[in-house]
Amino acid sequence: MTGTLTPARIAAPPPPPSPAGAARRLRDRLTPYGYIAPFFVLFAVFGLFPLLFTFYVALFDWNPIGDRTFIGVDNFTRMFADPRFWNAAGNTLSIWVLSTVPQLLLALLLAHVLNHARLRFALFFRMVVLVPYITSVAATAIVFAQLFDRDYGLLNWLLGLVGIDPVDFTGSTWGSHVLIATMVAWRWFGYNTLLYLASLQAISREVYEAASIDGAGEWQRFRHITVPALRPIIIFTVVTSTIGGLQIFTEPLLLSGGGGLTCGAVRQCQTLTLFLYEQGFGQFQFGYGSAIGVALFVMVVVIAAVNYVLSRRLRGEGR
């Protein structure tokens, strides 16, 4: 009895039993559940149920008209034998690593710099890093595809000025992965920088000042104060970047212009989400598409769990 909704009961005598009073007490008891119900209903209907249903649909040969035949794990055996699946899985992992690692390192460095007590124009810089976050993926993809174009792109023109041959960013496997990773990193690094900065601001400035007086240079302060203090939030951003990074869809779809769902002639940047969409909504194979969804789900969970365990272990060894 750590105090219920009506602390008034403690002070005032309980109201005389009457039908109206009983109804009111019942309503008071149920009120909190009413307040949290909308989220739980929405999540159950549009989040949890579809997720579980994906596992079910994956066991069928199922098309949108509703024809379905139970085929057990056939979709999965077919998927594991499908080179397009492995290609998409490889592309997804490659793009995820290429976007996440440089992005979070840059965010770490920028957060350290932005945390400086005497930085001028601090508000401007803090706002400017959030501009990419408010820019839509669709708009970003079109601009970046143009900037990175092989023949007419600004970047290749600049490379040409210093004598480097044009890079085929959209047509080649590595080029397209780098380009997509750049777009993802561009959009999210500022948001992560501010998350790190929020966490850094909880450390007192005296810690930095004391370290300075003891002769610690910029790098040593970064390495020994900033990075250790940020470990919990780093875990958080790695997990969220993983969940987002493994679901990349819009950038490769729009990158290839009208090319669409295969992302280029040899599927050079087709991610798992694009492959899922192609099979589910392009080929109308809901069962096979769902099997890809299950594979993606397992990947996200496994990678997030490995991240979590690794970072806990690193933290333990640091002490």
Give residues 106-165 in contact with other proteins (rule: CB under 8 A): 109-110, 113-114, 116-121, 123-140, 142-144, 146-147, 149, 151-152, 154, 157
Q: How far apart are CA 192 and CA 186, in angstroms?
A: 11
CA 258 to chain centre: 26
HSE-CB for 31 with a 13 A CA cutoff? 10
Applying CB under 8 A, the span of 72-80, 88-96, 97-105, 192-200 interacting with other proteins comes to 192-200
Residue 222 in the binding site for other proteins (CB under 8 A) = no
| Nearest-approach distance from CB 243 to other proteins, in angstroms | 5
Cβ-in-10-Å burial (0-12, 13-18, 19+) of 287 comes to buried
Q: How far apart are CA 94 and CA 231, in angstroms?
A: 24
Minimum CB distance to other proteins smaller for 22 or for 28: 28
Applying CB under 8 A, the span of 67-75, 96-104, 167-175, 247-255 interacting with other proteins comes to 247-255
* Residue 88: partners with Cβ closer than 8 Å, 6 or more residues away: 267, 270, 271, 272, 274, 275
Size (the chain), residues: 319
Residue 34 has a CB neighbour count (10 Å cut-off) of 9
Minimum CB distance to other proteins smaller for 54 or for 94: 54
Residue 302 in the binding site for other proteins (CB under 8 A) = no
Among 167, 179, 195, 263, binds other proteins (CB under 8 A): 195
CA 270 to chain centre: 18
Tokens 């047509």, located at residue: 171
Q: How far apart are CA 221 and CA 264, in angstroms?
A: 46
The DSSP call for residue 230 is T
Applying CB under 8 A, the span of 4-12, 70-78, 169-177, 263-271 interacting with other proteins comes to 4-12
Restricting to residues 55-114, name those near other proteins by CB under 8 A.
57, 64, 109-110, 113-114
Applying CB under 8 A, the span of 14-22, 53-61, 71-79, 85-93 interacting with other proteins comes to 53-61
Q: What is the DSSP string of 113-145?
A: HHT-TT-TTHHHHHHHTTHHHHS-HHHHHHHHH
Tokens 């899922």, located at residue: 276
| Nearest-approach distance from CB 140 to other proteins, in angstroms | 7
Residue 20 has a CB neighbour count (10 Å cut-off) of 8
Applying CB under 8 A, the span of 73-81, 91-99, 250-258, 310-318 interacting with other proteins comes to 250-258
Minimum CB distance to other proteins smaller for 14 or for 209: 209
Restricting to residues 262-291, name those near other proteins by CB under 8 A.
273, 276-277, 280-281, 286, 289-290
Applying CB under 8 A, the span of 77-85, 242-250, 262-270, 309-317 interacting with other proteins comes to 242-250
Residue 20 in the binding site for other proteins (CB under 8 A) = no
| Nearest-approach distance from CB 157 to other proteins, in angstroms | 5
Residue 201 in the binding site for other proteins (CB under 8 A) = yes
Over the window 22 to 41, marking each residue x when it contacts other proteins by CB under 8 A and - when it does not, the resulting string is ------xx-xxx-xx-xxx-
Residue 257 in the binding site for other proteins (CB under 8 A) = yes
- How many residues of this chain interact with other proteins, rule: CB under 8 A? 110
| Nearest-approach distance from CB 89 to other proteins, in angstroms | 13
User: 3-state DSSP: the chain helix, strand, coil percent, rounded to 5?
Assistant: 75, 0, 25
